[in-house]
Chains A and B, each alone.
Chain A
């Protein structure tokens, strides 16, 4: 049987044969590589001898194909220009820098194009090897938070999407643009195909499609990109059948790309807001999380034009106003008579992008109710309507993209501004500048007073960890990538968050296993930009997918990982402790299932296993600074480095 079909056994033929046996592809898949050692034409390889389970053994042709001994026949059709080349070109034209993937045959056509098509090949995007799909998607999450634009995660049909699901959920909750492509090969392994491949993540993706032709596929990729970056931003998924990846498309043209149009405030609003800011004696701009670095720049431009003091969200997440800008801070006078909120509440005007619930209503979330989301109830990020700081009621939110609206306000301000106002504004800026500087010095003076608590103690205090890091990086271009709430968040008071990517904030949906891969994504963004990533990494989080350490080494990423190693899922330990306490049962068993002891993990060795340089465990606080110095130096050379620090639990 095998012999007679040899020339025509492609993947389809292979499956058809295998399907005759009950276990179909699965049986073939688990055939151990020992077949190779047995050599050709021997015994069970011929397909005549039954396998021990009673399932007909795979044929030699099947085994050869599955173990890579033969290439799939290339003479079946003449491919001059595979569809996947066009797909990759479309992705390249969108300016996608990286594609992260764990390999899967459902996208073998695409993968081959990513690595071989184009001049130079494997650039824009560059193929990033992920060891887990959850890592691939969260890398894209972290990258987008740092850079304000998507990269691509490529997922294997069904199983790869399932592995990536939590990460997709987090990006969705975080309203971060992530572009995803999944392969669908209906002719290979039945379990790896689905009638509605995107269905399993539809409740927490913003948009998906499964185009049936190459032409449709190219349009879908562009659309998925646009949907991802249009507020409310989120992950989008295009499912691409293996056939259209491989089909010949000599005459197909890539459709002209049309960028999305963002909803802005209208001209009347822009006039009103400009007037409000200019006529106020003490205007204020409250800046939340904008979309991109350009938006941040525009917010600075507006603040400088009108001489408004500003508040920032930069210590809580990316894309907000530079914290040490001379206008950022309480200002000379904290009685504000006009507050404009940009993606956050403002007393007189709040421009906030559409909430998640808006899209949720048109997706599948209604019955599931993720996060308690019900249509019309307003999701996270609506922002407006909440009282602003200081108790002032917020203006009803104007549903528009603040970033895209800024140029309109800036134009209006320039048009309306009188010479008189200009003079007043200059005087105000000077006052704000010195007041904010003073406020900064007062705040830091108070902060260091508290950070010295436990300074020389063992294990090492989290405050000392952040304090020792700061002088080593303050003159570098840095990005703090992991959520810091479990490690004390001491950078909030001690460090200066002046870049859109200074601090990337939380997980999105509180899912652990985020920090490490998000840091690798941030480091991908940092790589070509002379920037280093500082990853203060909790131990529990790292253990979900430590394989990202290898990815960081393999791709030479400028990343310093400093362990906040409290040898526990400490947050959960405290919860269990509390529960046992409330029930009066004592806390001596609370460690069961919530601590990482017996044995302790050795993270420097773990790093070494993945090829990463590192040191530790460090318990003596006086040894910390020198180690951090070595780590920063390594990261600057593009050599990721890990320092295991045994820390106080909080």
Chain B
């Protein structure tokens, strides 16, 4: 635990002393490596209440790592979906984390036992998540980013 904490703390705070490659590096959606994912949104049934889920998405701090719209942060899921493909998969994922590996998490996502988050609440959150859509336009439709690429192309010394 302690080690784990220290590891994330260091990753967050340490002055980068490593000599970065000129082209930079890093990982995750925010760090430039990952591309915008395009897996179509699931069409499986949804039973929860999205409006109630919206409040829970905020109070339970899901946005902390997934962004307010599931598109940014350490673990963006819009366009990836993965464990979110069905309501049941989502529930299994949450509970599995809480009950199976609470002390040795494979990622930094908190565990949610049913005493902390009821099935109903989880389903509401799922319903809300399923309303998310990518807000990313096609690249050709973002002049700012195209201008940046063009400037880099011009810049030939």
- Cβ of A507 within 8 Å of any chain B Cβ, yes or no, is yes
CB distance from B31 to the nearest CB of A (A): 7
- Cβ of B8 within 8 Å of any chain A Cβ, yes or no, is yes
- Cβ of A580 within 8 Å of any chain B Cβ, yes or no, is yes
CB distance from A368 to the nearest CB of B (A): 19
- Cβ of B126 within 8 Å of any chain A Cβ, yes or no, is no
Contact of B17 with A380 in the complex, beta carbons under 8 Å: yes
- Cβ of B40 within 8 Å of any chain A Cβ, yes or no, is no
- Cβ of A316 within 8 Å of any chain B Cβ, yes or no, is yes
User: Looking at the complex, which one of A326, A451, A625 makes contact with B145 (CB distance below 8 Å)?
Assistant: A451
Minimal Cβ-Cβ distance residue in A for B110: A581
- Cβ of B100 within 8 Å of any chain A Cβ, yes or no, is no
Contact of B26 with A580 in the complex, beta carbons under 8 Å: no
- Cβ of A459 within 8 Å of any chain B Cβ, yes or no, is yes
Q: How far is the CA of A446 from the CA of B145 in the complex (A)?
A: 11
Contact of B61 with A577 in the complex, beta carbons under 8 Å: yes
Q: How far is the CA of A582 from the CA of B106 in the complex (A)?
A: 12
Please, what's the 1-or-0 string for B101-135, where 1 marks a CB less than 8 Å from any CB in chain A?
Answer: 01101001111110111000000000000000011
Which of A286, A433, A443, A625 counts the most B-chain CB atoms under 10 A from its CB?
Answer: A443
CB contacts (< 8 Å) of B67 on chain A: these are: 454, 457, 461, 648-650
- Cβ of B52 within 8 Å of any chain A Cβ, yes or no, is no
CB contacts (< 8 Å) of B71 on chain A: these are: 453-454, 457, 461
Number of A-B contacts (CB under 8 A): 257
- Using A463-B72, A506-B15 as known contacts, say yes or no to A584 and B144 having CB atoms under 8 A apart: no
User: Looking at the complex, which one of A311, A571, A581, A625 makes contact with B144 (CB distance below 8 Å)?
Assistant: A625
- Cβ of B41 within 8 Å of any chain A Cβ, yes or no, is no
Contact of A317 with B16 in the complex, beta carbons under 8 Å: yes
Contact of B19 with A587 in the complex, beta carbons under 8 Å: no
CB distance from B35 to the nearest CB of A (A): 5
Contact of B22 with A312 in the complex, beta carbons under 8 Å: yes
- Using A433-B157, A457-B68 as known contacts, say yes or no to A286 and B19 having CB atoms under 8 A apart: yes
- Cβ of B42 within 8 Å of any chain A Cβ, yes or no, is no
User: Looking at the complex, which one of A314, A330, A581 makes contact with B109 (CB distance below 8 Å)?
Assistant: A581
Please, what's the 1-or-0 string for A432-465, where 1 marks a CB less than 8 Å from any CB in chain B?
Answer: 0100110111011111111111111111011100
Q: How far is the CA of A448 from the CA of B22 in the complex (A)?
A: 17
CB contacts (< 8 Å) of A325 on chain B: these are: 157
Q: How far is the CA of A325 from the CA of B156 in the complex (A)?
A: 9
Contact of B72 with A474 in the complex, beta carbons under 8 Å: no
Contact of A492 with B147 in the complex, beta carbons under 8 Å: no
Q: How far is the CA of A252 from the CA of B33 in the complex (A)?
A: 63
- Using A461-B72, A581-B111 as known contacts, say yes or no to A446 and B63 having CB atoms under 8 A apart: no
CB contacts (< 8 Å) of B113 on chain A: these are: 584
- Using A315-B24, A508-B15 as known contacts, say yes or no to A453 and B72 having CB atoms under 8 A apart: yes
Q: How far is the CA of A315 from the CA of B16 in the complex (A)?
A: 9
Contact of A437 with B156 in the complex, beta carbons under 8 Å: yes
Which of A329, A380, A452, A570 counts the most B-chain CB atoms under 10 A from its CB?
Answer: A452
CB distance from A459 to the nearest CB of B (A): 6
CB contacts (< 8 Å) of B35 on chain A: these are: 446, 449-450
- In residues 59-84 of chain B, which contact A (Cβ within 8 Å)? 59-61, 63-65, 67-69, 71-74, 76
- Cβ of A591 within 8 Å of any chain B Cβ, yes or no, is yes
Q: How far is the CA of A462 from the CA of B29 in the complex (A)?
A: 11
Contact of A452 with B142 in the complex, beta carbons under 8 Å: yes
- In residues 563-616 of chain A, which contact B (Cβ within 8 Å)? 570-571, 573-575, 577-578, 580-582, 584-588, 590-591
Contact of B153 with A311 in the complex, beta carbons under 8 Å: no
Contact of B19 with A474 in the complex, beta carbons under 8 Å: no
Q: How far is the CA of A581 from the CA of B29 in the complex (A)?
A: 23
CB contacts (< 8 Å) of A470 on chain B: these are: 148
- Cβ of B45 within 8 Å of any chain A Cβ, yes or no, is no
Minimal Cβ-Cβ distance residue in A for B146: A448
Please, what's the 1-or-0 string for A291-316, where 1 marks a CB less than 8 Å from any CB in chain B?
Answer: 00000000000000000001111111
CB distance from B114 to the nearest CB of A (A): 9
Give the interface segment out of A34-42, A114-122, A260-268, A482-490.
Answer: A482-490
CB distance from A119 to the nearest CB of B (A): 42
Contact of B12 with A455 in the complex, beta carbons under 8 Å: no
CB distance from A590 to the nearest CB of B (A): 5
CB contacts (< 8 Å) of A444 on chain B: these are: 148-149, 152
CB distance from A389 to the nearest CB of B (A): 7
Minimal Cβ-Cβ distance residue in A for B138: A452
- Using A457-B71, A650-B72 as known contacts, say yes or no to A490 and B30 having CB atoms under 8 A apart: yes
- Using A433-B157, A493-B32, A575-B5 as known contacts, say yes or no to A471 and B147 having CB atoms under 8 A apart: yes
Q: How far is the CA of A341 from the CA of B18 in the complex (A)?
A: 12
User: Looking at the complex, which one of B9, B22, B59 makes contact with A330 (CB distance below 8 Å)?
Assistant: B22
CB distance from A626 to the nearest CB of B (A): 12
Contact of A492 with B30 in the complex, beta carbons under 8 Å: no
- Using A449-B139, A506-B14 as known contacts, say yes or no to A324 and B32 having CB atoms under 8 A apart: no
Q: How far is the CA of A570 from the CA of B144 in the complex (A)?
A: 28
- Cβ of A323 within 8 Å of any chain B Cβ, yes or no, is yes
Contact of B19 with A312 in the complex, beta carbons under 8 Å: yes
CB contacts (< 8 Å) of A314 on chain B: these are: 20
- Cβ of A468 within 8 Å of any chain B Cβ, yes or no, is yes
- Using A441-B149, A650-B73 as known contacts, say yes or no to A506 and B16 having CB atoms under 8 A apart: yes
CB contacts (< 8 Å) of B117 on chain A: these are: 586
Q: How far is the CA of A467 from the CA of B146 in the complex (A)?
A: 10
Contact of A468 with B111 in the complex, beta carbons under 8 Å: no
CB contacts (< 8 Å) of A508 on chain B: these are: 15
User: Looking at the complex, which one of A313, A345, A443, A591 makes contact with B20 (CB distance below 8 Å)?
Assistant: A313
CB contacts (< 8 Å) of B109 on chain A: these are: 581
Contact of B14 with A451 in the complex, beta carbons under 8 Å: no
Q: How far is the CA of A585 from the CA of B115 in the complex (A)?
A: 8
Chain A positions within 8 Å of B, measured between CB atoms, are: 174, 286-289, 310-317, 320, 323-326, 328-330, 341, 344-345, 380-381, 383, 389, 433, 436-437, 439-441, 443-459, 461-463, 467-468, 470-471, 474, 483, 485-486, 488-490, 492-494, 496, 505-508, 510, 570-571, 573-575, 577-578, 580-582, 584-588, 590-591, 625, 648-650
User: What are 24 A-B pairs with beta-carbon distances under 8 A?
Assistant: A311-B21, A312-B22, A315-B22, A316-B16, A345-B19, A441-B153, A446-B32, A448-B145, A453-B136, A458-B69, A461-B67, A462-B30, A492-B20, A493-B23, A573-B64, A574-B61, A581-B112, A582-B1, A584-B102, A584-B111, A584-B112, A586-B60, A587-B60, A588-B59
Known: A323-B22, A452-B36, A455-B135. 9 other contacts (CB 8 A): A380-B17, A437-B155, A443-B24, A449-B35, A452-B142, A455-B142, A457-B135, A463-B30, A577-B61
4 tightest A-B CB contacts, nearest first: A581-B110, A506-B15, A586-B116, A316-B16
